[in-house]
Structure 1
Amino acid sequence: MSSTARRLNGEGLLLLLGLAIGWGLNWPVMKIVVAEVPPLTFRGLCLLIGGLGVLTIARQAGLALTLPRERLGQILWLSFFNIIGWNIFATYGVAHLPSGRAALLGYTMPLWCVPLSIWWLGEAMTKRRALALVLGAGGVVALMREQVLHLSQAPLGVFLMVTAAASWAAGTVLLKRWQIPLNTVALTGWMMLLGGVPMLIAAYFVDGMPAALPSASALWGLAYNVVVGFMFGYWAWNKLVLLVPVSVSSLSSLITPLVGVLAGAVVLHESPGWPEAIAAALILGAVAVINAKRGA
Structure 2
Amino acid sequence: MSHTSSRLSPEGILLLLGIGFGWGLNWPIMKYIISEIPPLSFRGFCLLLGGLGILALARIGGHSLRIPRAYWGKIFWVCLFNILAWNIMATFGLSLLPAGRSALLGYTMPLWTVLLSVLILKDSFSVRIGLALVLGLGGIFALLSDSLLSWFGGPLNSSLLLGAGLMVGAAWGWALGTVLLKRWKIPLHSVVLTGWLLLLASLPTLVAAAWFDGIPHSMPDQWALWGVVYNVFIGFMFCYWAWVRLVELVPVSVSSLSSLITPLIGVASSIILLGEEPGWPEISATLLILGAVAVVNWKPGNAKQKY
User: Which category describes the TM-score, using the shorter chain as reference length?
Assistant: over 0.9
Q: Structure 1 CA distance, aligned partners of 2:221 and 2:174?
A: 31
| Structure 2 runs not aligned, ≥5 long | 301-305
Which residue of 1 is the match for residue 118 of structure 2? 118
1:28 positional shift: 0.4
Which residue of 2 is the match for residue 208 of structure 1? 214
Deviations 1:144-171 (A, max 9, x none): 2313235652111111111100000000
Q: Structure 2 CA distance, aligned partners of 1:167 and 1:92?
A: 14
TM-score by length of 1: 0.98
Deviations 1:48-81 (A, max 9, x none): 0000000000011111211111000000111111
1:226 to 229, 232, 237: 232
Which residue of 2 is the match for residue 55 of structure 1? 55
Which residue of 2 is the match for residue 268 of structure 1? 274
Which residue of 2 is the match for residue 68 of structure 1? 68
Which residue of 1 is the match for residue 31 of structure 2? 31
Asked if structure 2 preserves the Cα contact closer than 8 Å seen for 1:101 and 1:147, the reply is no
Q: Structure 2 CA distance, aligned partners of 1:275 and 1:39?
A: 29
Q: How does 1:253-292 map to 2 (within 5 A)?
A: 253-292=259-298
Counterpart residue identity of residue 103, structure 1: A
1:167 to 151, 162, 173: 173
- The CA RMSD measured in Å over matched residues stands at 1.1
Identity of aligned residues (%): 58
Q: Structure 2 CA distance, aligned partners of 1:52 and 1:256?
A: 26
SS, match of residue 6 in structure 2: coil
SS, match of residue 234 in structure 2: helix
Which residue of 1 is the match for residue 94 of structure 2? 94
Q: How does 1:170-189 map to 2 (within 5 A)?
A: 170-189=176-195
Which sits farther off after the overlay, 152-161 or 180-189? 152-161
Asked if structure 2 preserves the Cα contact closer than 8 Å seen for 1:40 and 1:202, the reply is yes
Which residue of 2 is the match for residue 84 of structure 1? 84
1:239 to 225, 245, 250: 245
Counterpart residue identity of residue 233, structure 1: C
Counterpart residue identity of residue 277, structure 1: I
SS, match of residue 95 in structure 2: helix
Counterpart residue identity of residue 211, structure 2: F
Q: Structure 2 CA distance, aligned partners of 1:214 and 1:206?
A: 18
Q: Structure 2 CA distance, aligned partners of 1:200 and 1:31?
A: 20
Q: Structure 2 CA distance, aligned partners of 1:187 and 1:34?
A: 28
Q: Structure 2 CA distance, aligned partners of 1:59 and 1:149?
A: 52
Which residue of 2 is the match for residue 17 of structure 1? 17
1:142 positional shift: 1.6
Which residue of 2 is the match for residue 5 of structure 1? 5
Which residue of 2 is the match for residue 139 of structure 1? 139
Q: Structure 2 CA distance, aligned partners of 1:13 and 1:144?
A: 28
SS, match of residue 62 in structure 2: coil
Q: Structure 2 CA distance, aligned partners of 1:274 and 1:201?
A: 44
1:290 positional shift: 1.0
Which residue of 1 is the match for residue 162 of structure 2? 156
| Structure 1 runs not aligned, ≥5 long | none
